[in-house]
Structure 1
Amino acid sequence: MHKQQQTGGVVLPIIIVVVAVVLFAMFVPTGGRAPSPDQQQEVAERIQPIGLVEVKAAASNGPARTGEEKVYKAQCAACHAAGALGAPKFGDAGAWGPRVKTGFEALLNSALKGKNSMPAQSGGAASDYEIARAVVYMANQGGAKFDEPKAPAAAASAAQ
C-alpha cells in the first residue's frame, strides 16, 4: 500500500505541471512579429491549388462562334497535322481521296461519333455545326470540293 500512495502522489503533480505548461503555451503570445509581405507571398505560393476546375455551359448547335481553322487547331490538329494514329494528314490529297469519296455526311458522322483511334468530337467545346465546318475545311484542303454547311435555324436549335 505504501508504494501505491507514493506513485499516486508523484503522478498527480506531473500531470498538473504538464497541463499548466500546455495552457501557458497556448495563451501566452509568442512575441514574434507579423510576417513580412514577402513571407506572406511565399506562403501563398506554397499553398496555392495545383489545378483549377472550370465549368462551362454546354455548346449549342447554333451558328459558329469560332472559325473552322480555330476548331481544327483546337481539336483536330493534334493528330491530323502529323498523320498520327492513321489519321489522314492535313492537306494530303492522297490520304484524303478515299475518305472524300465516301461523302461529306460519312466524314461528318465519323468526326461526330468517332472512328478507329479518333474520339467522338460531338458534345465537346465546339458545336456540331463547328465540327461540320472543320470537316469541310480539312477535306477541302485535301482535295474535296464540299460546300460550307448551312447554319442550323435558330428555331431548331432553341427546340433542342
Structure 2
Amino acid sequence: MPLSNSRQTYAVSDHDPHASFIKTPRQLIVVIVLSFVVPIVAIILLVQLVVSHPAADPNAMTDEAIATRLRPVGRVEFGAADAAAGSKGPAAPKSQAASASASPRKPDGKKVYDTTCMVCHATGVAGAPKFGDKAAWAPHLVHGMDALLQSALKGKGAMPPKGGNPSLSDDDVRAAVEFMVSQSK
C-alpha cells in the first residue's frame, strides 16, 4: 500500500527500519575481529601500566623518613641578629665583663627616619608634614615636643603607632622625632 506525500510516494516495503552500517560480509568480519582485539589490547596495556610502575621504597615509611617529610620548611628566630646569624642554637650569654663595658646604644634619629619615617614624611603622603617644611610642621610644633612624641608612639590619623615599625624602641622614636623637628625649625 503506497503512502502519499505531497512530494514523493513511498511504498512501505522500501523502508527497512532495521538498517545497519554493516552492508557487506567484509565489514562484518572487520567488526567482529575488532570487537575481540580492542578489549584484549586495552587489558594488556592496563596490566603493563600496573606491572611497570615502580614499587614504593620500603624505607619511605620509617619514623625518620616520616619525620623528615613533616619537618617545617623554615623557622623564624627572634633575638639578637648576631646570635641568630652566628649559631644554630640559642644565643650564648655574654660575660658580665663584656656587657658592663658595652655602653648602651644611642638611638640614631637620622637612621630611624631613613628606614621608617621617610616613606611618608619625604613626600607628604596622607597629610604627613614633609621633612624640612617649616610651614607644614608649625601647627604641630605649637603643641610641644611631648605631644609630637605621643603622636609618633601611639599613631595619629593615617600614621600607625611607631610609624608602622613595632620593633622600634621609644628612644628610637624620640630620636627620630627630634631629628625631624631639628630639620624643620
Q: 1:70 to 1:123 in 2, by over 3 A?
A: closer
Residue equivalent to 2:168: 126
Deviations 1:107-156 (A, max 9, x none): 0110111101111117613212101110110011111xxxxxxxxxxxxx
Q: 2:183 aligns with which of 138, 141, 150?
A: 141
Residue equivalent to 1:150: none
Residue equivalent to 1:57: 78
Where does the alignment leave 5 or more consecutive residues of structure 1 unmatched?
1-9, 29-51, 144-160
Q: 1:54 to 1:23 in 2, by over 3 A?
A: closer
Residue equivalent to 2:47: 20
Residue equivalent to 1:79: 120
The answer (yes or no) to whether the contact 1:64–1:127 under 8 Å persists in 2 is no
Match status 1:114 vs 2:179: no
Q: Please give the alpha-carbon distance, in whole angstroms, between the structure 2 residues aligned to 1:82 and 1:54.
A: 37
**Matched positions, count:** 108
Question: What is the deviation of 1:81?
Answer: 0.6
Deviations 1:49-70 (A, max 9, x none): xxx98846379xxx54752111
Q: Please give the alpha-carbon distance, in whole angstroms, between the structure 1 residues aligned to 2:49 and 2:169.
A: 63
> Could you list the runs of 4 or more consecutive aligned residues of structure 1 that deviate by over 2 angstroms after TM superposition?
12-20, 52-59, 63-66
Q: Could you say which structure has the greater relative contact order, defined with CA pairs below 8 angstroms and 6 or more residues apart?
A: 1
The TM-score, its normalising length taken from structure 1, stands at 0.54
The answer (yes or no) to whether the contact 2:126–2:158 under 8 Å persists in 1 is yes
Match status 1:67 vs 2:108: yes
| RMSD of aligned alpha carbons | 3.3
Deviations 1:69-114 (A, max 9, x none): 1111111111101112111111111111221121111101101111
The answer (yes or no) to whether the contact 2:107–2:171 under 8 Å persists in 1 is no
AA in 2 matched with 1:57 = F
Question: What is the deviation of 1:20?
Answer: 2.3
Identical amino acids, percent of aligned pairs: 38
The answer (yes or no) to whether the contact 2:149–2:177 under 8 Å persists in 1 is yes
For the residue of structure 1 that corresponds to 2:161, the secondary structure is coil
Larger radius of gyration: 2
AA in 2 matched with 1:124 = P
Where does the alignment leave 5 or more consecutive residues of structure 2 unmatched?
1-36, 56-72, 81-103
Q: Please give the alpha-carbon distance, in whole angstroms, between the structure 1 residues aligned to 2:143 and 2:109.
A: 21
The TM-score, its normalising length taken from structure 2, stands at 0.48
